[in-house]
Structure 1
Amino acid sequence: MKGHYRNHPLWFAFLLHRLSGLGLALFLPAHFYVLGMAIRSPEALDGFLHWTDMPIVKIAEFGLVFLLAVHFFGGLRLLALEFLPWPAPHKTLAAGAVAGAFLVSGVFFLNAV
């Protein structure tokens, strides 16, 4: 029965939290590059900002906000695991964290379009 824990819903919550953290860590260098572009070359920043009006970039922004929200709510779940007594329905709270992340990123996406 090696690996049977991987079928547990909270293992997927663990995996999603780790993957969202990795995605955010990969995004940070690009974010810092664009911030540096604002200082070094405002004209290049204007061209980049024009590029960000493309629909595929808006969808990618949705994904980024979703990763941020998933990571945030997953972190709150972990803090609750550490500091609060837990009742039996862990799966409901983990699903609620993903639903909250989807809600936050969906609202951002609808305002960004």
Structure 2
Amino acid sequence: MKAPARSHPLWFAFVLHRVSGLGLALFLPAHFWLLSQALTNPARLDGFLAFAEMPLVKLAEFGLVFLLAVHMFGGLRLLALEFLPWSDRQKTLAAGAAGVAFLISTTFFLKAI
């Protein structure tokens, strides 16, 4: 009997890439709106920048950098799927990419607090 696709080691990478893309797609419009405040309403931007110094916001920035790193490495994984035959080593590298993404975002977080 063939195991369901969800038991495949790279299924988690597939889901993480989709979730990170969705998270970034939700974040970007808010980010661009906030950047527009520098031109249209500098006082509101200053208020938000003060808000951004809160520890919870710093934690959210960690999450954002994690999403960016995961999405980048997920895209590299997809390129590898397209152009390379998968081996056990490549599966290990895909799992390692998620670990590196976590390391990058954690480094950013520790420097930000």
- Superposition RMSD in Å: 1.6
TM-score of the superposed pair, with normalisation by structure 1: 0.92
Unaligned runs of 5+ in 1: none
Describe the shift of the 1:3–1:50 C-alpha distance in structure 2 as closer, same or farther (beyond 3 A): farther
Q: Give per-residue Cα distances to partners, 1:50-81, cap 9 Å, x unaligned.
A: 00000000000000000000000011111111
* Superposition misfits of 4+ residues, deviation over 6 angstroms: none
Aligned to 1:60: 60
| In 2: Cα distance, 1:95 partner to 1:7 partner | 15
Aligned to 2:50: 50
| Deviation for aligned residue 1:8 | 1.4
Residue identity in the other structure for 1:97: A
Unaligned runs of 5+ in 2: none
Verify: 1:81 aligned to 2:76, yes or no: no
Aligned to 1:35: 35
| In 1: Cα distance, 2:46 partner to 2:32 partner | 16
| In 2: Cα distance, 1:59 partner to 1:86 partner | 35
Describe the shift of the 1:40–1:3 C-alpha distance in structure 2 as closer, same or farther (beyond 3 A): farther
TM-score of the superposed pair, with normalisation by structure 2: 0.92
| In 2: Cα distance, 1:85 partner to 1:4 partner | 21
Aligned to 1:72: 72
